[in-house]
Structure 1
């Protein structure tokens, strides 16, 4: 496995790039907007393709690189289901997994620093965001932070991981790069409390100043979605109500771009073909399944995904590949459900 820990000295943020192998797929955790060019350079140097970009929570001290990486690489953006971000490609909840070739992350919901904080575990390590830091814990005094919830996240979930589990946080202000669960249990001063009430009192006594960029970063990081209005202006989208009239007709091939586990949890629009977004490029090129389907039958290709972001990118790619009849359902399955469209499980 390829693993790189990257540091932004301005916000003291750690970002993590993981890939199964050279020439394969990669993901990045907690990217910083100002470092996007560096990430892209590193991706080229390692000969890996970014397919997923993840934020552990809505950051208050820097601008996220999720949107810029999506625009530059067409990767899938990922956040927890509790996130207030306007649009991300995929929302995950506790018990879900995030897969790329050669790498699997399991999702833990670990609120407390914010109400949308998630951690991601592998066999030997955990990416804790700002919930558990090295010799510290995330502050709980803004963005619906809750010291009681953080105590439960740390003591009820993270500290139940094996002692040897490596701890990789989203921030460090002292120069430490990695710790371990057993090490933090023994030496983290904020974890030496005897009760949740003692932890709450400790956190309430901190009186920390707000992050310098908080008033800018939080609103910006909640508005990172791909602007599907531009796709609509080009005539490449259908509102869900408009799609009701064409889904199921002989002239339309409905294509679900989500991953298999999303389909299992969220359901599907009846009659849709499953072609995951990660396989789009090979499917729309000459000789690919979708390309041949459109050419041979004259069918309109109608994409959909969870929230419309992947399908909007798919339409752009399909149009560039010469599939002039490609369209997508604006807002994805989420909008389809809200409009009362049928769902099969």
Structure 2
């Protein structure tokens, strides 16, 4: 396995680059905008293909690098379903898994620091974002923070993990790099409380100053979605309402770019083909399924995904590959459902 813990001194943020092997797929957790060039250089040095950029929550102390990584690598952006970010390619919930080749992260909803805070468990380690820090916990006094919810997230979820589980937080201000669940249970001063009420009282007494970047970072991190209007101006997009009409036409093939877990959870457009976005380049190449579909059947291809981000990138890639009879559904299956489109479960 390839595992790199990277640090941004300006915001004291830890970023994690993970892959199962050299030459394979990679994901990154909590990237920082100013460090994007460094991440991409490291990925090239290790011969990695970045396919997912994950944020544990909507950050107030730095601007996420996820959107920049998406624009430069066409990776999938991932956040929890409660996020207030405008568009995220994939939204996850507790019980889901974030998967790439050889790597799987189990998703835990751990609100309290913010209402969209998530942690991710990967075998012998857990990435806790700002929920559980090394000898500390994330503040709970803004962005819909809730000390009682954080108590529940820590004591009834994170501390239930095996004691030897390594704890990798999103921040550290003292120079520590890793801890364990058992260490935090024993030595974290904020966890030496006897009740949720005591924890709430402790957190309410902190009186911390707002993060220096808060007024800049929060608005920026709420507007990270791909500009789908650029794709529309090129004539490569259709509205969900127009897609409803196209569904009845035999010359149009709907192609679902989401992952199987998303289809299972949210349903799909009846009759659509399933070709995950991560396999797009293979399917667009000579002999690939999309290439053959376009060449042998002459059908128009209509891509869709969850919210339109992956499908917008897919239609641009298809056009660049010379497959011109391709468009995408603006807003994805989310817009389709709002237009009262039928959904197969």
Q: Do both share a fold (TM > 0.5)?
A: yes
2:8 corresponding residue in structure 1: 8
Query: Offset at 1:123?
Result: 1.4
1:264 corresponding residue in structure 2: 264
Large movers: runs of 4+ above 2 Å? none
Give the Cα separation in 2 of the matches to 1:311 and 1:288: 18
Query: Offset at 1:288?
Result: 1.2
Could you state the TM-score of these two structures normalised by the residue count of structure 1?
A: 0.99
Query: Offset at 1:172?
Result: 0.1
Q: Are residues 1:232 and 2:232 paired?
A: yes
Q: Are residues 1:22 and 2:39 paired?
A: no
Q: Are residues 1:118 and 2:118 paired?
A: yes
Query: Offset at 1:248?
Result: 3.6
Q: How does 1:285-300 map to 2 (within 5 A)?
A: 285-300=285-300
2:195 corresponding residue in structure 1: 195
Q: Aligned pairs, how many?
A: 345
1:216 corresponding residue in structure 2: 216
Q: How does 1:1-345 map to 2 (within 5 A)?
A: 1-345=1-345
Give the Cα separation in 1 of the matches to 2:190 and 2:246: 58
Write out per-residue CA displacement over residues 304-331 of structure 1, whole angstroms, 9 at most, x where no aligned residue. Answer: 0001000000000000000111100000
Aligned to 2:292, the other structure's residue is in SS state helix
Aligned to 1:245, the other structure's residue is in SS state helix
- Unmatched tracts of structure 2, length 5 or more: none
Query: Offset at 1:250?
Result: 1.3
Give the Cα separation in 2 of the matches to 1:55 and 1:107: 12
Q: Are the aligned partners of 1:117 and 1:129 in contact in 2 as well (CA < 8 Å)?
A: yes
Query: Offset at 1:196?
Result: 0.8
Query: Offset at 1:292?
Result: 1.5
- Unmatched tracts of structure 1, length 5 or more: none
Query: Offset at 1:249?
Result: 1.6
Query: Offset at 1:95?
Result: 0.3
Give the Cα separation in 1 of the matches to 2:102 and 2:271: 31
Write out per-residue CA displacement over residues 64-89 of structure 1, whole angstroms, 9 at most, x where no aligned residue. Answer: 00100000000000000000110011
Give the Cα separation in 2 of the matches to 1:103 and 1:119: 16
Q: Are the aligned partners of 1:248 and 1:271 in contact in 2 as well (CA < 8 Å)?
A: no
Q: Are the aligned partners of 1:87 and 1:226 in contact in 2 as well (CA < 8 Å)?
A: yes
Write out per-residue CA displacement over residues 263-297 of structure 1, whole angstroms, 9 at most, x where no aligned residue. Answer: 00000100100000011101112221111111122
CA RMSD between the two structures: 0.5
Q: Are the aligned partners of 1:80 and 1:117 in contact in 2 as well (CA < 8 Å)?
A: yes
Give the Cα separation in 1 of the matches to 2:108 and 2:257: 25
Give the Cα separation in 1 of the matches to 2:264 and 2:195: 40
Further displaced range: 3-12 or 286-295: 286-295
Could you state the TM-score of these two structures normalised by the residue count of structure 2?
A: 0.99
Give the Cα separation in 1 of the matches to 2:76 and 2:322: 23
Aligned to 2:162, the other structure's residue is in SS state coil
Give the Cα separation in 2 of the matches to 1:205 and 1:68: 38
Write out per-residue CA displacement over residues 89-127 of structure 1, whole angstroms, 9 at most, x where no aligned residue. Answer: 100000000000010000000000000000000110000
Give the Cα separation in 1 of the matches to 2:37 and 2:260: 32
Give the Cα separation in 2 of the matches to 1:175 and 1:40: 25
